[in-house]
Amino acid sequence: MLPSLSCAILNTHYEKDVEPMKPHIICLGDSNTHGYCADPADCADGNLLRFNEEERWTQLLQKALGANVLVFEEGLSGRTTVFSDPLYEGLSALDYLYPCLKSHEPVALLIIMLGTNDTKERFGASAACIDLGMQRLIRKAMTVDCWGHCKKPNILVVAPPPIDDRMENSSVGSTMGRGCGEKSRQLPSLYAASAKLLGVHFLDAAGCEFNQIDYMHLTRRGHAQLAHRLTEFVPHLL
């Protein structure tokens, strides 16, 4: 940087009132947070198979909450709570949690929507074990020094929309395996109890529309529905 330009920036900094840092909201999730679109006809950029910034629930939440907060998207397709996938690397949220939180600190709110991929048959995990994985993830988040001046963890657990049993006969059925729908339907009540036990917030995303192709990923309308629910809930948590 040129010396004269550097001085100008410094002078501007000291002459003007500086706004305080905006609250940071982290959205930690899987493909339904990343914005995977299973139906190219349902998203503006169909060839990309991802909902764009006008369609994803994370971006809709940012728009609804306004410019006074920052929403960070941390969605990864295939991500689990704590399970390491033998087929793909880096999918355990537990392993990624520390660098994720520290890179966005200070964190005002951590939203976790995970559990769908944990139901895969190859993990051999019951709904109760998936819930224990969520508990472990929450407990780890609470220990990370990222929560700003208040030092108090602020976490919202979102139970993902349950998987429809028709998924087993879809194009992803052979890799997801059997029993995913049943396990996913047990998660809301388990997550709600764990949230109460650990003193964190809870929201059930059941009823948000999923597509009729793989029966597990949100549609554009489903993203809007989830964003609407969160828009009503999140301001009370900040």
**Does residue 71 surpass a pLDDT of 80?**
yes
Bin 36: left if φ > 0, else alpha if -120 < ψ < 50, else beta: beta
Average pLDDT taken over every residue of the chain: 93
Determine how many CB atoms are found less than 10 A away from the CB of residue 202: 18
Q: What are phi and psi of 147, to 5 degrees?
A: -95, 15
Answer whether residue 17 shows pLDDT above 80.
no
DSSP H or E stretch at residue 18: none
The pLDDT assigned to 2 comes to 45
d(CA 193, CA 191): 5
Mean per-residue pLDDT for 111-134? 98
What whole-number distance in Å separates Cα of residue 102 and Cα of residue 87?
28
| Residue 80, amino acid | T
pLDDT for residue 10 is more than 50: no
Write the CB contacts of 106 (distance below 8 Å, at least 6 apart in sequence): 21, 24, 146, 147, 148, 149
Read off the pLDDT of each residue in 60-83 and give the average, rounded to a whole number. 97
Tokens of 103: 């890179």
Domains, the chain, in order of start with CATH, read: 20-237 (3.40.50.1110)
Exposure letters 73-92 (e unless 16+ CB within 10 A, then b): bbbbbbbbbbbebeeeeebb
Rounded to a whole number of angstroms, the CA Rg of the chain reads 19
pLDDT-derived band at 7, boundaries 50, 70, 90: very low
Give the three-class secondary structure for 225: helix
Task: Please check the confidence at residue 79 and state whether its pLDDT lies above 60.
Answer: yes
pTM of the model: 0.92
Among the listed residues 201, 82, 176, the one whose alpha carbon sits nearest the alpha carbon of residue 134: 82
Residue 195 has pLDDT above 50, yes or no: yes
- What does 48-113 look like in DSSP terms, one character per residue? GTB--TTTSHHHHHHHHH-TTSEEEEEE-TT-BSSPPPSSSSS-BHHHHHHHHHHHTPSEEEEEEE
pLDDT band of residue 148 (cuts 50, 70, 90) is confident
Question: For residue 157, which of 34, 19, 24, 29 has the smallest C-alpha distance?
Answer: 29
